[in-house]
Copies of this chain bind each other. A is one copy, B any other.
Amino acid sequence: MSQRSEGDLTNTGMSLKHDREWDYELDRIVEAVEERDAEKVGLQFPEGLKRRAPAVADDLRELTDGVRYLISGQPCYGACDLDTYLMRRCDVFVHFGHSPMKESDKIIYVPLFSNVDPFPIMEDSLEELADPDDDPDVGLVTTAQHMNLFEEMYDWLEERGFEVHTRRGDDRLTHEGQVLGCNYASADIDADQVLYVGGGKFHPLGLAMEHPEKNVVIADPVNNVVTIADTEKFLKQRYGAVHRAMDADTFGVILCTKIGQGRFDTAEGIVEENENAHLITMDEVTPDRLRNFDFDAFVNTGCPRITTDDGPRFHKPMLTPGEYEIAVGNEPLEDLEFDTFHGTW
Question: Which A residues contact B (CB, under 8 angstroms)?
Answer: 42, 47-48, 50-54, 57, 61, 68-75, 83, 85-86, 250, 252, 254-255, 257, 268, 271, 275, 278-285, 289-290, 292-295
Pair A293/B74 contact, Cβ less than 8 Å? no
Most buried by B among A48, A73, A275, A282: A73
Give the residue of B50, B51, B250, B280 whose beta carbon is less than 8 angstroms from that of A71: B280
Q: How far is the CB of A343 from chain B (nearest CB, A)?
A: 20
* Assembly CA distance A293 to B289 (angstroms): 23
- Is the beta-carbon distance between B282 and A50 smaller than 8 angstroms? no
- Interface contacts beyond A68-B271, A72-B282, A74-B282: sample of 9 additional A-B pairs, CB < 8 Å, sorted by A: A50-B292, A53-B293, A54-B293, A61-B275, A68-B268, A71-B278, A73-B254, A73-B290, A85-B281
Cβ B281 vs Cβ A72 within 8 A: yes
The answer to whether A281 touches B71, judged by C-beta atoms less than 8 angstroms apart, is yes
In whole angstroms, how far apart are the Cα atoms of A219 and B250 in the complex?
Answer: 39
**Also in contact, A69 and B289, with CB within 8 A (given A54-B294, A54-B295, A295-B54):** no
Complex: how many Å from CA A283 to CA B85? 10
Contact B69 A278 (CB under 8 A): yes
Q: A72 — which chain B residues lie within 8 A by C-beta? A: 280-282
Which B residues lie within 8 Å of A86 (CB)?
Answer: 257, 281
A83 to B281, CA, bound (A): 10
Q: A47's closest neighbor in chain B, by CB? A: B292
Contacts of A61 in B (CB 8 A): 275
Task: Tell me the smallest distance from the CB of A55 to a CB of chain B, in Å.
Answer: 8
Q: Would you call A73 and B278 a contact (CB within 8 A)? A: no
With a cutoff of 8 Å between Cβ atoms, the chain B residues found around residue A42 in the complex are 281
A-B contact pairs, 28 of them (CB 8 A): A47-B292, A51-B292, A51-B293, A51-B294, A52-B294, A53-B278, A53-B293, A54-B250, A54-B293, A54-B294, A57-B278, A61-B275, A68-B279, A69-B279, A70-B255, A70-B279, A70-B280, A71-B279, A72-B280, A72-B281, A72-B282, A73-B254, A73-B285, A73-B293, A83-B281, A85-B257, A86-B281, A284-B284
Complex contacts, A74 vs chain B, CB 8 Å: 281-283, 289
| 5 cross-chain pairs, A with B, having the tightest CB-CB distances, nearest first | A73-B282, A50-B292, A51-B294, A73-B280, A71-B280
